[in-house]
Amino acid sequence: MIHNDSSVFHHEAGSVLLVVVVIVALLAATVMGHLQVNAEEIQLVQNHVHGAEALAVAEAGLNDALAGLREDPGWNAGFADKRFANGSYTVIVAGPTVTSVGTTSDGFTARIEVQTTRSLDGPPYVVSVNRLRINR
């Protein structure tokens, strides 16, 4: 008796094809998941970099204001949208409180607020920072 093994071969080939399709689908889902996680991590890093840039701009505004106070302890003019690097800062001097807000060209902001004490011996006058608040 002669058996026709071609039907068995076609059945096995179909099973192998189904297993390969399932494995490829699982690999594709895994790769897509990793790509999504990597994209989110890249966005987090970019946000961190832009936040640090905004903080640097706010620090520049604070330094500019402290320099003004070292020249004149009564100085309270502040600055409005003064350009610095890739952004600008606004400084408000209200009594002993100096607030600097830095904004990057991408729209990220950071805020620094300090409480100061100013000596009357000078110039240059000594300006002490008693309290520092960042992004509050």
Give the pLDDT score at 11.
62
pTM of the model: 0.76
1 occurs within a structural domain: no
Q: What is the extent of the structural domain holding 108?
A: 6-134
In tens digits, what is the pLDDT along the chain, a chain of 136 residues? 555 555 555 567 678 888 899 999 999 999 999 999 999 999 999 999 999 999 999 999 999 999 999 999 999 999 999 999 999 999 999 999 999 999 999 999 999 999 999 998 888 999 999 999 999 8
41 occurs within a structural domain: yes
47 occurs within a structural domain: yes
Q: Tell me how far apart the alpha carbons of residues 58 and 38 are, in angstroms, rounded to a whole number.
A: 30
Count of domains forming the chain: 1
93 occurs within a structural domain: yes
- The DSSP code for 100 is E
Q: What angle do CA 90, 62, 89 make, to 5 degrees?
A: 25
